[in-house]
Structure 1
Amino acid sequence: MKKWAMTLAIGTSLLATTAQAESKFQCEEGETYVMNVMVSGVEYWFPVYEAFKQAAQAMGCKTAYTGTPEYDVNKQIASFDQALAKQPAGILVHPMNSDPFIEPINRAVDSGVAVVTFAADSPNSKRTSYVTSDNDREGAYAADVIAEALGGKGEYGILENPGQDNHDKRVAAFVARMTEKYPDIKLAGRAATNQDANKAYQAVLSMAQANPNLGALFMPEANSALGAAQAAKELGGTIKIMNADVNGKILDMIKAGEVFGAVNPNQGIQGYMGFMLLFMAKHPDLIDPMNDWKRAAYNPMSVPFVDNGFAVVTKDNADDFYWDAYLKRRGTKGIEE
């Protein structure tokens, strides 16, 4: 064989091998992956879905954004079941509560639909992987920030959302950190506001009246911070509001000094890695690990936990977190596509 012919043959073989390898990380025609949430209008989900979609499009996959606008676990499960009825390749789900989602997730996996959880987990289900920020670290870090702002002395309050796994962890870590490291900062009171700004507003007014030395408040989500910040403003603006998660209104309030700061999960990484974990869970043949996965009959792509990290949002960097600017930069229609 002539040298040029041999080179051509080798090149053709390499191209074929490369194409074959690349095809493994490409979706088949119509292969669709779904993201499912509760309170579907909450801005937190939008960057998660945007990056979920970005990863999917890179591999020729289709996506859909689903969920329920209500804060209701039964309605979210109903929306999950509606998505499952269409037999997508996989579902990335934020389970509002852990245990009620065990049966729906198990039913999905048993039917051949891959399931990965994000931001909140259903650890006793058959979900393949879980991607989130470290809620314990978030809560502890928020406590350190508030403690420094208070000068190591004072009183703080908690507004919470009992029953949602990731929120409970943030609050527990915050309180534990304060108790262990800052004994001169006392817990003045706790109130369940359940992501309701009006409940948060009333709770802060009541807590401040009963505790005149209240210096700070922590809450594990953004909606309660809206009401808490308004109450704090009316009380003179001396109570420092620290929350988790951001949206446009919270960012505006941080810049205005009405909210002290927020810890915010890296939503884009959460969505991107969520899709990658989901795709791999659907295609376990992509890897042949040296273990007993066939004998034990489990998905070899199982990754128990991926930490997507978090950022601390202050006046100095708030401009980097606006959803509308992110969407404009990416040139897409967000959850509408």
Structure 2
Amino acid sequence: MVKKIKRDKAIFKILAIFSVSALLLSACSSKADDTAATGDAGGTAASKVYTPLATAPCDLSGKSITFLSVLKGHPTLRLWQQGFLDQANALGFKSATIVSPDEPDWTKAVTLGEGVLATGTDGLVLGFVDPVEKDLIAKFAAKKIPVVIGHVQAKPEDYPGVIAYAAFDPKAWGSAAADAIGEKIGGKGTVAVTEGGFNPVEDAVASSFTAQMNAKYPDVKVLKPAEEGFDVPKAIAKAVAIAIANPDLVGAVGTTGGSPVTWAGASDQIGKPIWAIGPDATRPNLDAVRDGKILAVAAQPGYEEHQMAVDLVANAICGNAPAQFANDLPTPIIFADGLAPYYAVVDAIDARVAKQ
């Protein structure tokens, strides 16, 4: 039986990686709710990126595991939570608890983490991480509680006490998006690059996209990155302005979770297709691909990262140290013919949220 508590917090940095395109469901209270996980809702989707442990490395029926992050109601965070809950359920943990404030407040997250430390847990998964958590992480490590970071690349010296991370390589998906868009537009025309906010993760996607497009499709003009922000109507208006200023615009890459909706909206308003790619595999973004409004979604492996994070924690609880600190998963580019397994994940999320 898998349990979950809610509480999430963050700062601008996390908003820059997620999309506020869907801060639509964060109206949960901070009480605990009991919600069963759904099994591996990812199915085929997850297997393309990561094959989770099918059985526990030891008996975990008396063990508990906790997920700590911010922005509990954000669709991207719910995707991560689903991977965490499904894999914890699959491995037979006594309980899996989501601890997170609804708002982007890391200070609240630390306070909640102190509460977890006081009440006890056998393992901790950090959905994203912030420097303000360093002292908290050290306290967990001092109690020999394994801590794994999800979604964010880090170095061992960045967060002493963390035993590993499970994340994605932003440069890899930027390059893959350039290949897909360049082929779709026949190697000609202008493409835009938009970011939610300028930060190392989004900048890495943007720079790798530009470099690959320049190298493979030299006749394509790549515009300099523009900031779309996180307000959906304003982001669409900015994208429309880019399209109007560049009449030969035929493609775009957006590096934040709201970018698919941004470019789908812009395409609707100007009345012509803009072959865009952006993250993540949330329902509005999948719908935009299904409806032919954008080319594809970059399925940043948030679900699979947190399956892997659970596996790393489980192995550590069972006395098996991680094979390596860095664990980078691929980010598939998902076209209309590959959406079904990703819809299975968001269907499971919706069912879980409906029970709250």
- 1:149 matched to 2:181? The reply is no
Deviations along 1:70-92, one digit per CA (max 9) or x if unpaired, are: 34544544544444443322221
- For residue 43 of structure 1, report the CA deviation from its aligned partner: 2.6
Distance, in Å, in 1 between the alignment partners of 2:149 and 2:187 is 37
CA RMSD of aligned residues (A): 3.1
Alignment-derived partner of residue 127 in structure 2: 94
Deviations along 1:23-67, one digit per CA (max 9) or x if unpaired, are: 9712363x3211123332233333433342333232333101222
Distance, in Å, in 1 between the alignment partners of 2:239 and 2:68 is 32
Deviations along 1:92-129, one digit per CA (max 9) or x if unpaired, are: 112255x4444443343234332111111343112111
Q: Which runs of 5+ in 2 are unaligned?
A: 1-54
Alignment-derived partner of residue 190 in structure 1: 225
| Cα pair distance change 1:55/1:334, threshold 3 Å | farther
Q: Among 97, 119, 128, which residue is 1:64 paired with?
A: 97
| Cα pair distance change 1:247/1:23, threshold 3 Å | closer
Whether the 8 Å CA contact 1:208–1:214 is kept in 2: the answer is yes
TM-score by length of 1: 0.76
Instruction: State the identity as a percent.
Output: 19
Distance, in Å, in 1 between the alignment partners of 2:119 and 2:311 is 21
> Which runs of structure 2 are paired with 1:156-175 in the superposition (5 Å)?
156-162=191-197, 165-175=200-210
Alignment-derived partner of residue 331 in structure 2: 310
- For residue 226 of structure 1, report the CA deviation from its aligned partner: 1.4
Distance, in Å, in 1 between the alignment partners of 2:196 and 2:189 is 24
Between Structure 1 and Structure 2, which shows a larger proportion of helix residues? Answer: 1
Larger radius of gyration: 1
Alignment-derived partner of residue 116 in structure 1: 148
Whether the 8 Å CA contact 2:168–2:330 is kept in 1: the answer is yes
Whether the 8 Å CA contact 2:83–2:306 is kept in 1: the answer is yes
- For residue 264 of structure 1, report the CA deviation from its aligned partner: 0.5
| Cα pair distance change 1:322/1:213, threshold 3 Å | same
Distance, in Å, in 2 between the alignment partners of 1:158 and 1:171 is 7
Distance, in Å, in 2 between the alignment partners of 1:87 and 1:122 is 26
Q: Larger RCO: Structure 1 or Structure 2 (Cα < 8 Å, ≥ 6 residues apart)? A: 2
Whether the 8 Å CA contact 1:52–1:272 is kept in 2: the answer is yes
> Which runs of structure 2 are paired with 1:1-337 in the superposition (5 Å)?
25-27=58-60, 29=62, 31-57=63-89, 58-95=91-128, 97=130, 99-123=131-155, 124-126=158-160, 127-162=162-197, 165-283=200-318, 286-287=319-320, 300-301=321-322, 303-323=324-344, 326-327=347-348, 333=352
Whether the 8 Å CA contact 1:120–1:165 is kept in 2: the answer is no
- For residue 141 of structure 1, report the CA deviation from its aligned partner: 0.5
Distance, in Å, in 1 between the alignment partners of 2:113 and 2:128 is 10
Deviations along 1:195-249, one digit per CA (max 9) or x if unpaired, are: 4323321221222233222222211232232133212210113222210212111
Total equivalences in the alignment: 298
Distance, in Å, in 1 between the alignment partners of 2:234 and 2:112 is 27
Whether the 8 Å CA contact 2:167–2:329 is kept in 1: the answer is yes
Q: Which secondary structure does the structure 2 equivalent of 1:169 belong to?
A: helix
TM-score by length of 2: 0.72
